[in-house]
Structure 1
Amino acid sequence: MIVLVYLLNVALLLGLGWLLFKQSWAQILKPYLFPALGLKLVCGILLGLLYFHYYGEGDTITYFNASQKLTQLARDDAGAYWRLLLLNEFPSESFKESVPFTRFADFSNSFFLLKVISLFNLLTGSSYYLIGLYFSLFSFWGMARLAATLSIVFPDTKKAAIVALLFFPSVVFWSSGLLKDAVLMGSMCWAMAFVLQLAHQQKQAIATWLLLPLQLYLFVKIKIFFAALLLFLLGSYLLIIWLSRTMKLLQTITAQLQTLAGFIVLAGTIVWQISGIFSLGFILHHLVKTYDGLLALSLGGPHLSYSSLESTIPSIFSNSPKAFFSAIYRPFIGESSEVLYLLLGLENLFLLALTIIAIVSAFSKSWLQHIKLWHVILMLFIVASAIVIGISTPNFGTLSRYRIIFLPFLVYLLLQNRFAQRWLVKM
């Protein structure tokens, strides 16, 4: 029976892979698509091996083990299971207490993930690695779609998009396997590709429109704050590009940036008036509380610390430069002798070198002429995300995982300097 389950799931995975390769946009990524998919699936397996056989604990193990309780409920009482799945109605208080992440079940993205995994348990016979392959494939589909869309809309950046989204080490690894991050990256990148196609008048298949609500739901459910930020920026981009087709004044980058600034001020004013200062205070308090909680677990190893961090605007503002820099370039080589930290240090050293090269390249007289509104949209998302993640996440291991929400876009931008472009041409 177990062999049959594995054979059926492998056949389904192969079928989904074949369907991916048959997509018209996938042809644009050849000959990189197959190696990139293979790397992604391998990383999904390696992630499980890392947690089970090296760390011995971690989010992915917690999610998988906890999901078994929901799956057992499905086998014992299908009606109760579906009420829990769709309505968050627990069969009993004792059952609720036995499952983690249920205190605020309606809002918890971790509990939402448990429900998703429980469905895959039923499909795969509770095979951790098969579920990891499904998650990896979902993540890859969204990220590859975005890489292909960027290649169509901005042809000169094709190889930068492929490297950043499909081959950059930590991006590929942490967006694979049975983690929230795989769902996050797959749905987020899919939504970004959709907006880009819509803004630049690319043809959208009916299936794409039908999948849009699901992808947006997953993105918002997994990371509501980052989803709100990015969807606002994407909506602004879409509106400005549409308006620029009929308004000559909006066809220059200066006018587009001024309009974007106006949108940001307007949105900020509306949010401030609707929610008031207490909402902002809650967000700042949550950031610092998250930092304090993770700091207590990080004191035995290398970590990011602030001399004075309080849940006030001046404190957050004064610590933002350090948070931004640390989220991108730390840990440095030498901050820990552990192999994983050494690998992270090497990647961060490469990022630092790439940044320096990009800055040197920026002294070219013509670099301003190549700036597009899309670049600014990405940069705003990168800066905001890096500050929030840098302030709330002192543990370097966790930081390296969380930062993949913005890291591929940073690499994508950094690879567009004239020196990197000469290297990419040879690929």
Structure 2
Amino acid sequence: MNVWYFLANILPIGVLSYRWWNQQTTPFLKIIFWPAFLFKLSCGLLVGWLYQHYLSGGDTFVYQSQAEILSRYASQDPRNYLSFLLTGEYQSVYLYDVMKYREYSNSFFMVLLLHFLNFITGYNYYLNAVYFSLFSFFGCWQLTVIITKIFPVTKVAVALAFLFFPSVVFWSSGVLKESILVGSTAWLLAVVLQLVYLPDKNKVFARSIILLIAVFICFKIRFYFAVAYFPLLAGFALVEMAARQWHLTGKQKLFFYLSALLVLGVGASFLHEAVNLDYFFREVINSYQTSRLATTRQAFIDLPNLKPTFASLIQYAPKAISSAIFRPIIGEINSVEYLLTGLENLLILFLAVISLLSFWKHKPILPITLVISLLIYILLLAALIGFSTANLGSVSRYKVAFLPFLLYLLLQTGANLKIINRLESWVNRLLTIKVN
């Protein structure tokens, strides 16, 4: 690694991270910042190291190699390069032939992001991994900060879910699509919560720009996830702001919320031709079959008669959702990494059971519209992942898209919150600090 590139990147990152830490006035946020920050960046480097030395490179190094081609092409043929960026049209036969992901929009979006980073990192994969991890951390950190302000009782829950849960942090770090996805979805929710609960006329324009940026990134990196996420967040935001303005009762708010979801959901179906149900069903089945054929392990999500119809999808939905959330279980696959994954899934199952058993006695602290929105998002993504991916190893990575949201809902509900509060009190005594 060129020492000048290293210093030119690490020093600004150090200054920026110190500024994030120094801006915090809440003792809890100051305490957790550096452990969470270092944990995130370490996982980003570890992801790259594992893929490089044990997983034959994977997509992450293919993205890097493709980005290097595009970055070098910028200096070889700047005119056609600029034309390509502005129009998306390949003026160069060479570039058309070497761009592997030209037909895959989200993969090519990864290549575009990386090729821009190459100009400032000197084509260094691990510095690029630091920036991807930094973006993911920023989104999760912003959400943690905003929730600490709005729903302070749940601050430990959101920190554990987004900043410290091992598989969430690991699979949303480094040069992976999930880093951009988790960072942008968390960032988007943080901005929406600000607009709803922390209105500030002087910041409306800036927040609107940030909102549009987060929306764009979500849309580009995982189109189908965005189609599910946007109407749910919009419905929640509109109803909560209307309820405050017009003093709606709980029943009225729920009625308007469900109506808003219906209207926004129908509207989302016109966002892109790929939302066509026939096309969507075929793509899901094709993805599942491809994944099933590539799966060599005995344990997988088995949907033997899955067909591209509503009836078939509804029939297999419980199995697809439960498999995406709770599998692999301990002993299902005999390896160390799957043992660790199984232990995590066992913990998730334990939290889910406690949450369900204590739900009616201990209602969620979060607004019911937010709970329903996140819950629908979780179930839709779990179903989509379960339907389209047979390989449990891939599922363990892909489910990071919804897992932190699920963990947050579970940890802030019922008896789980009491456990979290006791943990917080124990940590406070251990650190001998006074938290208001």
Per the TM alignment, residue 58 of structure 1 is displaced from its structure 2 partner at its CA by 1.2
* CA shift in 2, pair 1:418/1:266, >3 Å: closer
- Which deviates the most, 148-157 or 406-415? 148-157
Aligned partner letter, 1:196? L
Partner of 1:38: 38
> How far apart, CA to CA, are the structure 1 residues paired with 2:141 and 2:314?
36
User: Is the counterpart of residue 341 in structure 1 residue 310 in structure 2?
Assistant: no
> How far apart, CA to CA, are the structure 2 residues paired with 1:126 and 1:160?
38
Per the TM alignment, residue 46 of structure 1 is displaced from its structure 2 partner at its CA by 0.6
- Secondary structure at 2:331 match in 1: coil
- Which deviates the most, 23-32 or 4-13? 23-32
Aligned partner letter, 1:147? T
Question: Structure 1, residues 168-225: CA drift from partner, whole Å, max 9, x if none?
Answer: 1111111100111111111111111111110113447465444333222111111122
User: Is the counterpart of residue 327 in structure 1 residue 321 in structure 2?
Assistant: no
Candidates 249, 262, 273, aligned match of 1:251: 249
Assess if the C-alpha contact under 8 Å between 2:232 and 2:373 holds in 1.
Answer: yes
Question: Structure 1, residues 318-371: CA drift from partner, whole Å, max 9, x if none?
Answer: 11110110010000111111221111111001111111111222252x537976
Partner of 2:214: 215
Partner of 1:80: 80
Aligned partner letter, 1:124? T
- Secondary structure at 1:367 match in 2: coil
Question: Structure 1, residues 379-421: CA drift from partner, whole Å, max 9, x if none?
Answer: 1111111111111111111111111111111111111234322
> How far apart, CA to CA, are the structure 1 residues paired with 2:81 and 2:298?
41
Question: Structure 1, residues 90-124: CA drift from partner, whole Å, max 9, x if none?
Answer: 242232121211136xxx11111101101111111
Per the TM alignment, residue 26 of structure 1 is displaced from its structure 2 partner at its CA by 7.8
Assess if the C-alpha contact under 8 Å between 1:25 and 1:148 holds in 2.
Answer: no
Pairs within 5 Å for 1:10-409: 10-24=10-24, 29-103=29-103, 108-203=105-200, 205=203, 207-248=206-247, 250-252=248-250, 254-268=251-265, 279-300=276-297, 302-364=299-361, 367=363, 372-409=368-405
Question: Structure 1, residues 275-326: CA drift from partner, whole Å, max 9, x if none?
Answer: 9999111111111111111111113453211121011110011111101100
Per the TM alignment, residue 241 of structure 1 is displaced from its structure 2 partner at its CA by 1.0
* CA shift in 2, pair 1:273/1:58, >3 Å: closer
> How far apart, CA to CA, are the structure 2 residues paired with 1:44 and 1:31?
22
> How far apart, CA to CA, are the structure 1 residues paired with 2:391 and 2:356?
29
- Which deviates the most, 195-204 or 171-180? 195-204
> How far apart, CA to CA, are the structure 2 residues paired with 1:14 and 1:201?
29
* CA shift in 2, pair 1:137/1:319, >3 Å: same
- Which deviates the most, 312-321 or 413-422? 413-422
Assess if the C-alpha contact under 8 Å between 2:363 and 2:414 holds in 1.
Answer: no
> How far apart, CA to CA, are the structure 2 residues paired with 1:25 and 1:96?
51
Assess if the C-alpha contact under 8 Å between 2:327 and 2:345 holds in 1.
Answer: yes
Residue ranges of structure 2 left out of the alignment (5+ in a row) = 425-436
Aligned partner letter, 1:397? G
* CA shift in 2, pair 1:14/1:26, >3 Å: farther
* CA shift in 2, pair 1:391/1:333, >3 Å: same
Aligned partner letter, 2:215? L
- Secondary structure at 2:31 match in 1: coil
Assess if the C-alpha contact under 8 Å between 1:25 and 1:145 holds in 2.
Answer: no
TM-score (ref. length: structure 2): 0.90
Residue ranges of structure 1 left out of the alignment (5+ in a row) = none
> How far apart, CA to CA, are the structure 1 residues paired with 2:158 and 2:254?
23
Assess if the C-alpha contact under 8 Å between 1:329 and 1:348 holds in 2.
Answer: yes
* CA shift in 2, pair 1:415/1:308, >3 Å: same
> How far apart, CA to CA, are the structure 1 residues paired with 2:274 and 2:176?
34
Question: Structure 1, residues 230-289: CA drift from partner, whole Å, max 9, x if none?
Answer: 1111111111111112323x231x322222222233345556799999911111111111
TM-score (ref. length: structure 1): 0.92
> How far apart, CA to CA, are the structure 1 residues paired with 2:340 and 2:262?
41
* CA shift in 2, pair 1:370/1:232, >3 Å: closer
- Paired-residue identity, %: 34
Aligned partner letter, 2:233? L
* CA shift in 2, pair 1:268/1:172, >3 Å: closer
Per the TM alignment, residue 145 of structure 1 is displaced from its structure 2 partner at its CA by 0.5
Question: Structure 1, residues 73-92: CA drift from partner, whole Å, max 9, x if none?
Answer: 02212232232233223242
Assess if the C-alpha contact under 8 Å between 1:21 and 1:27 holds in 2.
Answer: no
